[in-house]
Structure 1
């Protein structure tokens, strides 16, 4: 028998091979090497994000009204800006609607809104007393001046604002303007509401004196002193000042911007509900310009508005306006602005332009 000698390496390999068998015999289990487990994919989730429906597109403007408005503006002897906005349907019709026209007393609207915004913030009340003295007097139309007894007149902010809007009293408006912080306060209000293309001037005294070619003096507020000082100026001075105002009115406003702001007022987007109601009802009490737009409004329609009239020179007028909210018997409303920036047409001819605009709107409403 031949005995085979095993090398050290062979003996080591034999021990490694026999070791698991020995362990099994001893009752010890050998755990095989772990294999890489297949991980399950993470769960997926679907989150439903609500998507608001797209805003409804404004209905198209009535074609007949578009034609009427453009024809009226085109054939008018002077610069006339016309804009109409359907507050319910969203469409706008305009001619020269982007041109900044002199506002004149139309700008009293923005003073009123600024005052009511201060009321909404709790900074003042319509019942707060306010006193006018001779140092507050301005010029042109200021019937409150006749109420100054012993040099002063005390009323409330609400009553003075009602007077400013319904009778277009310049002194009443300027007193309220400075009560709420001056021209910058009004400009800040307009900017805070995103109202663009509407300027606000420096106040009645500075605006009118510069338009005439004068430097304001408080003595101009008494009697006819302003008219006398203006008449004494050289014609060239007056013409240059008048033309400069027309070329770039510091109180200029685009008719489209005006009707947009009025529509937002009506929808309650500018002031609180109470202040909105107060302002709209006050505008409906207005007694100025009965033969302007109001002259063509049927008795069963409601019109709340503000007028504005500028100075005359050499047969021309710088600003002859009427803007407001016109409401039909069925409750549908329209913001309307007819702003004559410059014209030598007669007053009745200006009224006719405004009347034709209203007639065209009512005809379009009746056929819609």
Structure 2
């Protein structure tokens, strides 16, 4: 359990971060967040950060948890930064090859024929951020220089306690206790190889991953990144607005954080969902930026490292976090 922590003024430099008003956090919200985290059966982290005023309340907010597809947010920021620099354009053509295919959720897969699929940076970004398409994200990842480039960006931007994994294919293979093979592009070979493993071998690999996630990030760190994004401290105003519009249009996780919204509230968000083993689910996440009807902003991260609770219970838990924010502090702004 972590104590409330303010958003540091020094993260992006005094010229980039607006002056923060009061730095105390509502005790009622802290109590509500900690109560929700305590009663949920599983390893969870919750952080709510007031973007406009700077305070944050958290439950296990400093612990590194698996991000899974939450990490697509950092790839998207790197892409938009390249667009701001002029080294990429949303209109740039891209051919996705069969060798680019990844694993698990990839709606683009049926479109990729023997000659590939012609698309654009904009369409890939839309696929990654609104449909959480793993192949779209991995193609964009390598367009901006691969995992090392994302890690450098996170460090340069002052987004602390947020790591970045080795890319979708290697990450999922390591999590399952396998070494990625190029012939598995598309996912079927990977799934077949995983199905031949013993339960004990997969359990050992998953335990290693949960103990030290290859894509680990803290809920405090994720909300710091979201806050800086919303303040235009990471990208140009135009690129920030574009990326947030893609996050508001997300089709994934409609019954997670979004299920707790009330009339007039909006959410720009990104989900993450990891692998299951038996009844154990891992990396079940939702992070985003809540906007109140009068324009007050909160960054929220709910990360479930592991749980045996069914999906409806997980979604209800996340919606309850949103409801707590709206109930406790929503009426004060």
Aligned residue in 1 for 2:319: 355
**1:18-37 equivalent positions in 2, closer than 5 A:** none
Aligned residue in 2 for 1:125: 89
Match of 1:319 among 256, 268, 283: 283
Let me know the Cα RMSD of the aligned residues: 1.2
Aligned residue in 1 for 2:128: 164
Q: Does 2:187 align with 1:190? A: no
Q: Does 2:68 align with 1:104? A: yes
Q: Does 2:205 align with 1:235? A: no
Give the Cα separation in 1 of the matches to 2:297 and 2:71.
Answer: 22
**Given the two structures, how large is their TM-score scaled by the length of structure 2?**
0.92
Give the Cα separation in 2 of the matches to 1:89 and 1:223.
Answer: 45
**1:1-368 equivalent positions in 2, closer than 5 A:** 58-222=22-186, 224-368=188-332
**Given the two structures, how large is their TM-score scaled by the length of structure 1?**
0.83
Q: What displacement does 1:223 show?
A: 5.6
Q: What displacement does 1:58 show?
A: 3.0
Larger Rg computed on CA atoms: 1
Give the Cα separation in 2 of the matches to 1:149 and 1:75.
Answer: 49
Unaligned runs of 5+ in 2: 1-18
1:307-348 CA-partner distances (Å, limit 9, x unpaired): 000001131112000000110111111110000011111111
Q: What displacement does 1:226 show?
A: 1.9
Give the Cα separation in 1 of the matches to 2:168 and 2:113.
Answer: 23
Q: What displacement does 1:91 show?
A: 1.2
Aligned residues: 314
Q: What displacement does 1:197 show?
A: 0.4
1:221-264 CA-partner distances (Å, limit 9, x unpaired): 34633222111012221111110000000101000111111011
Q: Where has structure 1 moved over 6 Å in runs of 4 or more?
A: none
Aligned residue in 1 for 2:15: none
